[in-house]
Amino acid sequence: MTEQKTYIIGDIHGCLDMLKRLMLKMNWNPEQDRLIFLGDYIDRGEDSKGVVDYILDLFKLSKRIDCLLGNHEKLFLDFLDGKDSHNFIINGGNVTLESYRIAKSEHTKNFIPQEHIRFFQSLQLWIELDDYYVVHAGFQPGIEIGLQIIEDMVWIRESFIYSNYDFGKKVIFGHTPFLEPLVMENKIGIDTGAVYGNTLTCLELPSCTFHSVEGS
């Protein structure tokens, strides 16, 4: 029997072409393998809507897909609820709105496909695997996983990245871009700056193999 694999993909940020090429390179088996997305599907890149459409199509192929909430999806949800338009726009949200072919307005939510809104609202905060925790940005050291707050799980950087704290399992995360995957005793970071002209990276488990594609 073939061993089940888990593929974890870092921050996409609207880079649909890179995502498609990475999926081909990974050789993911939708009938057997698990697929996890770390969040930040939208903003800054040119085709946020296309990325969400593509992931929704993947759901039709497999029930073994999990999608995490990134800080950019949190900003988008707050924006759609009328809570914070400024931070969404200055963090690349204007490009996301352009991909949906709409302009910023108080009625923006009416122009986003309901399937997309349900997708954003369904995103998970963290996932526990046999030997790993998977989260978008990281965890606050010294706090139990079940007591972590949303703001840290989607926004935390230095206090998590520079910590040697043992969370009980190695933490796989995105959010903070590196030129190549960050591998430490207690964590693995796989946001490799796809939208900034670097690479889009996937971590394959249990082999701990990295797959990546460069921008075209």
Residue in this structure with the two tokens 């490009």, named with its chain if needed: 95
Q: Which domains, and CATH codes, for the chain?
A: 6-214 (3.60.21.10)
Residue type, 23: M
Q: What number of CA atoms fall less than 13 Å from residue 179's CA on the CB side?
A: 0
Residue in this structure with the two tokens 């459409």, named with its chain if needed: 53
With beta carbons less than 8 A apart as the criterion, state whether 181 and 203 touch: yes
Mean pLDDT by 10 residues, the chain (216 residues): 86 98 95 97 96 98 97 95 87 92 70 94 98 98 97 98 97 98 98 97 97 90
pLDDT of residue 200: 98
163 three-state secondary structure: coil
pLDDT of residue 86: 86
pLDDT of residue 3: 74
Residue in this structure with the two tokens 């992931």, named with its chain if needed: 55
Whole-number Å distance between alpha carbons of 86 and 138: 24
33 three-state secondary structure: coil
Contacts of 58 (CB under 8 A, 6+ apart): 30, 35, 65
Q: Give me 64's structure tokens.
A: 């073994």
Rg (CA), the chain: 17
